[in-house]
Amino acid sequence: MAANEHEAKMAHPRMAAGALFFDAGGRVLMVEPTYKDYWDIPGGYVETGESPLHAASREVREELGITPVLGRLLAVDWAPNGAEGDKVLYLFDGGELAPETVEGIHLQADELKAIRFVSPSEIADRTIPRLARRIVAAIEARAESAPVYLEHGQAPGDLAA
Judge whether 72 lies within some domain.
yes
Query: CATH number of the domain that 52 lies in?
Result: 3.90.79.10
pLDDT at 159: 57
pLDDT at 6: 67
Rounded to two decimals, what is the model's pTM? 0.91
Judge whether 1 lies within some domain.
no
Encode the chain (161 residues) as per-residue pLDDT tens digits.
566 776 778 888 999 999 999 999 999 999 999 999 999 999 999 999 999 999 999 999 999 999 999 999 999 999 988 888 899 999 999 999 999 999 999 999 999 999 999 999 999 999 999 999 999 999 999 999 899 999 999 998 765 55
Domain extent, residue 130, equals: 13-153
pLDDT at 5: 74
- Write the DSSP string, 84-130: TB-EEEEEEEEEEPPHHHHHT----TTTEEEEEEE-GGGHHHHS-HH
pLDDT at 126: 96
User: How many domains in the chain?
Assistant: 1
pLDDT at 12: 84
Judge whether 34 lies within some domain.
yes
pLDDT at 25: 96
Judge whether 159 lies within some domain.
no
Judge whether 69 lies within some domain.
yes
Exposure class string for 50-84: b at 16+ Cβ within 10 A, else e: eebbebbbbbbeebbebebebeebbbbbbbeeeee
